[in-house]
Structures are given as C-alpha cells and as structure tokens.
Amino acid sequence: MSKEELGLDKNANDVALESEERRKFFSKSALIGAGVVAAPMTAAMFASTAQAQVKSAANSPVVHPGELDEYYGFWSGGHSGEVRIMGIPSMRELMRIPVFNIDSATGWGLTNESKHIKGESAHILAGDSHHPHMSMTDGSYNGKYVFINDKANSRVARIRCDIMKCDKMLTVPNVQAVHGLRVQKAPYTKYVVCNGEFEIPMNNDGKDGMEDVSTYRSLYNVINAETMEMAFQVMVDGNLDNTDADYDGKYFASTCYNSEMGMNLGEMITSERDHVVIFSLAACEAALKAGKFKTYNGNDVPVLDGRKGSELTRYIPVPKSPHGLNTSPNGEYFVANGKLSPTVSIISIKKLDDLFANKIKPRDTIVAEPELGLGPLHTAFDNKGNAYTTLFLDSQIAKWNVQDAIDAHNGKKVNYIRQKLDVHYQPGHNHTSQGETRDADGKWLIALCKFSKDRFLPVGPLKPENDQLIDISGDEMKLVHDGPAFAEPHDCMMVHRSKMKPLKIWPRNDPFFAPTHAQAKKDGVDVYTQNKVIRDGKKVRVYMTSIAPTYGMNEFKVKLGDEVTVIVTNLDQVEDVTHGFCMTNHGVQMEVGPQATSSITFIANKPGVQWYYCNWFCHALHMEMRGRMLVEA
C-alpha cells in the first residue's frame, strides 16, 4: 500500500480535522437503549498525538528485564471465565487463574481438588467473570483474597492471593445473573455483596405464575467472606446492576436500570428516572437477628424485605438507566453513572443517616449531577479530588473535579471538566491505581475498551479488545500503552506489590489438597514417602511421588473399565520446578506444584499399554519422565 493509503502522509491539521469529524459522528450517534454502531477508524488518526504523549508522560510504562512491576493487576476474563494477573505498568500478563472455565494446563475443572472446590457446579464448563475485588482492612487492600462473580451461572468465587488459585465457590440461590460485586471495606471484609440482576419469581418452580411479572423480584446478596456461605438476601423493587460500599461499614449502594420491571427493551426504558438503592447494614442485621425474613425454593437462606417503605433500604431517584456505582476514596460520595443520561449523580454519604431517619427526602442526598458526555458508565478517582469517567459513546475518558462539580451545582461559575482524552474504542470499566481504597495514589488509569478496530495487526473477524494504560500523575492524562486482550477484560483492580505475599512453594498441610490427603490417610498411605496402588473393586487409587526427572512409579496395572484415580505428590523443594501428569489418549492432565498433591480420576477405557508423562517442563531429562499404565482386557 502507498503512504497515502496508509495515512502516513497526513499532517497534524489533517489528523485534527479527522478527530473533529469523529467527535461529530459520536455526538450524533443515537442511543436507543440497544447500543451504537461505530465507524471504522484510520490507524494513523491519533498516531502522532499518542507518540508525543508517551514521550512527555511523567511516568514510564517501561519495566526493564530483571526489574519488577510496581502493581499487581487483577483482570476479569469476561466470558473466558478466568482471572488474569497483570504487571503494572508494563502491562505484561503474568498468570492466568482458571476459575469458572476448564483449563488443560493446570487441570482446573478436571482434577478432584478443583471439582471439590466447584462443588455443585463442577459439571458447568463455562462462565462469565466480571468484577474482581480484593478483601480490605480499614479501607485498604490486605492481599488476602480476590473475589469474582460469574454472571452466566450465578456464582461467586474466591481466589487465595498467597497461592493465586480459587479455593472456594458458591452458587447463589434464588437469583439469576449475579452481576455487580464489591466487598465490605471497613472495619474489614466480613461480607462480599453482589447483585441478582435478572428478575425472576421468588418461588421459581415452574408450576404456575411464570408469566405474572408482579411476582418477579431481584435480590441483593450478602455472602460471608470467610466461609463463602450465604449470610442473607434482600428483596428489592426493580432490578440491580452495579454496587459498592462505603468506608465506614454502614451502607451499600446499587444502581437499578429497570425500575419499570419491563420484560423487553421498550418496557425497560419508559421511565424518565430509575434509582439507586441504599442498604443499611445495621438495619439488615437487626432484621435478620429478629427473624424478620422468609425462605424460598426449599433452601434456608433468609430473605429480607427491602422493597420501598422498608426500614432496610432507601431509593434515590436518578436519571434513567444508571450503570456503574463507585465510591470516592475520601469516603464522602457514591457516584452513579448515567449510561442513558450524559450525567453522573453524586450522592453524599454523610446525608444517608438523615435519609434513613426520614429527616430529608431521597433527592436531597444528591449534591451534584455534572454533565460529562455521552454514555458515562464508570468512574474512578485519584488522590487529588479528581474523577475519571468512561464515556462509552464518545470513546473518551472525562477527567473532572468533584468539588468543582458540586460548586457548579450550587450556582458557582466554574468549569469542573479538566480534560477529555480519546481512547480506542468504547470504554467500559476504568480503574486507577488503588483508586477503590483509601490509598488511591493518582499514578495510573486503565481504560478497558470494548473494541480495538485498527489498533493492532488484523487477526480475522474476531478482533482483540484493547486495554489502555494512561498516566494520570500530571495535570494532563497521557496515553502510554495499548494492550490487546482476549475476551473479555470486563473489569480490573490494581494493588501495590507491597500488599501481596505470594508463596514460593506449597505448605504440605495446605487445605487446598486436604480432602485428597484425608483419602490417603484412610488408605493408610503417606503421600510424601510411599508409592502404592490401592484396589477397591473396580476403583483403583494410584499413589506416586515425583521428583525431577522421575515418577516414583514407572508402571502400574489396572483392568479395562476400572475407575482410576492417580494421586501425584511433587517432592521437589525448588520453586518453579512444577511437574505435571498426563495420561495419553484419555483427556487427563494436571499441574503438580512443588510440595503439592494433585489427583485426577478417569476410566481406563483403552486396553493395552497407555503411557503417562510429565507435561510441565521440569528438567534436562524432562522428555524421559514417563511411565506405563498396563490395561488388561
């Protein structure tokens, strides 16, 4: 192609003109509740601007070989069902944590340990992970757990940050589509809270009333963070979308985009206003203690009534179809993002006590509703009083000052918008470094963009999405990095590396493989010293050790049709010497980290010699690390 075809001969005025035309296009785009069609962008449109921004950025995204990133980033994997660990600011992908998906590298979803953790949902092979959030102490990340929701199958999972693996999973009863998720921030994360987004009958048994929408409800779900069991649920009017918590352990808040309780698009966007629901934790716990609840669908989870008029909740009217709900790091405000309105609603948390005491009206808690642009979805914060809101339709990040917006709302002539930065394209969530805690430091902003279009080499009809790193340490935002991402980086959070204490090798008594150790004890086997075959009728348990580059057992015999469980314990004590176990032609493979025990169960359904081998590179003689299963016909 010629330079002209590639757009490489364009000067700054040409680029500026294209940018202005692009602004006009998005300003004229109509949002009728269903979305928007974006025009293709030229690759050179913002190239010169981006290069200049990188050169002038106060922070450098470059992390040289041998150096470590300053932050851990936890990225949701969206409809891949996983969680990814990123290094910030390098944007290097460090690890993938399988959660709601099947992973053949680690054996997640295949091993007995992972099936035990997944529990009643072990048969579900897919998921849609949305909102990763870390446990806190006094409003600061404590590096203990990351929680993540599965919208597709109404689950919540917990990741242990010392081993970076999922250790608990709960299917939330009485709801469908667990969406927005946050943690209690203070005094510590006693509860994880999440929304049941889709409305269903409370007794959803299919017997009668399925078409009677008046019986439909959405539930706010409160989960014990340590036991990962349901604490209680709260029934509300309308549906629930995104949620967040205050910094005093008193209030939770959630947006509602379907106060109409509509069952189709037209019905869901008829009202001029929807609402934000405020939940009083103290009132909910008091009602629970007093036994003011019901149970549904044959389970014993207490469901409190938080519909309008309840002492447990208050409903604050806001412009139609709000989406994101975010808490400012100073603990003063909830910000509800408009989606179908160009505004965000700033709710004063200090006024909520008076609201619950019925001293003021719900709208009295709104201290400002600044107009930011088209399609505001989510807001993040720095440590200087500024907020950063994604504008989905405008494909921009709007930087604005919270106090100036409040002053403008009160009649003062002040421009609260500091800057608008083009991102590529259609941003959803955005997050600042530690911006969801009291420790917001105002260094980095991540924009998670739904489309990349022309930002990367073409890879076919399915294109990567685009995670963009933005330097916010100076007066102006500077775009410094594009990072292609596979489906779908829905949400993320960033924590300083000083908060994290990951292990280098497994403790031998780790609860992660306690059920397997319990079975070994029942079989009279010491998994660290013995290689042994236990035969129990058609069930065979094969215990073997591994130490690079050999298994403790080079062969074992079974009969055709036997149910075989292979339990491997890695005796290596050097970090990063991970072994694997793969039985050829049986769909069997798993990871076994240093000092860990892993097990997998399968049917020996092929007669003759069946080789097994180590599928994680471990040694110069790695290829020789193998053995035979001899299957008698």
- Count other Cβ atoms within 10 Å, centred on residue 628: 15
Average pLDDT over the chain reads: 92
Residue 193 CA, chain-centre distance (Å), reads 13
Handedness of CA 238, 31, 446, 478 (dihedral sign): negative
Cα 170 to Cα 37, 150, 301, distances in angstroms? 37, 10, 13
> How confident is the model at residue 551, as a pLDDT?
98
Task: Report pLDDT digits (tens) over 162-190.
Answer: 999 999 999 999 999 999 999 999 999 99
Q: What is the DSSP string of 198-253?
A: E-EESS-SSSS-TT-GGGEEEEEEEEETTT--EEEEEEESS----EEE-SSSSEEE
- 553's tokens: 């057992």
> How confident is the model at residue 602, as a pLDDT?
98
List the domains of the chain with CATH numbers.
Answer: 190-196+230-369 (no CATH), 517-632 (2.60.40.420)
For 230-256, what is the mean pLDDT? 98
Q: Which residues lie below 8 Å from residue 515, measured CB to CB, with a gap of 6+?
A: 112, 113, 116
Greatest Cα pair distance in the chain:
87
For residue 43, is pLDDT > 90? Answer: no
Task: Report pLDDT digits (tens) over 278-334.
Answer: 999 999 999 999 999 999 999 999 999 999 999 999 999 999 999 999 999 999 999
For residue 612, is pLDDT > 60? Answer: yes
Instruction: Let me know how many helices (H) and strands (E) the chain has, helices first.
Output: 9, 40
Res. 629 pLDDT band, cuts 50 70 90: very high
> How confident is the model at residue 59, as a pLDDT?
82
For residue 21, is pLDDT > 60? Answer: no
For residue 626, is pLDDT > 80? Answer: yes
Give the burial class of 580: count Cβ atoms within 10 A of its Cβ; 0-12 exposed, 13-18 middle, 19 or more buried: buried
Res. 56 pLDDT band, cuts 50 70 90: low
Handedness of CA 270, 276, 280, 281 (dihedral sign): positive
For residue 20, is pLDDT > 80? Answer: no
For 108-137, what is the mean pLDDT? 97
> How confident is the model at residue 57, as a pLDDT?
65
> How confident is the model at residue 26, as a pLDDT?
39
Task: Report pLDDT digits (tens) over 379-420.
Answer: 999 999 999 999 999 999 999 999 999 999 999 999 999 999
Predicted model pTM: 0.91
For residue 42, is pLDDT > 60? Answer: no
1-5, 90-94, 246-250 — which is least confidently predicted? Answer: 1-5
58-62, 65-69, 360-364 — which is least confidently predicted? Answer: 58-62
For residue 260, is pLDDT > 70? Answer: yes
Task: Report pLDDT digits (tens) over 540-596.
Answer: 999 999 999 999 999 999 999 999 999 999 999 999 999 999 999 999 999 999 999
> How confident is the model at residue 226, as a pLDDT?
98
> How confident is the model at residue 376, as a pLDDT?
97
d(CA 131, CA 489): 10
Res. 209 pLDDT band, cuts 50 70 90: confident
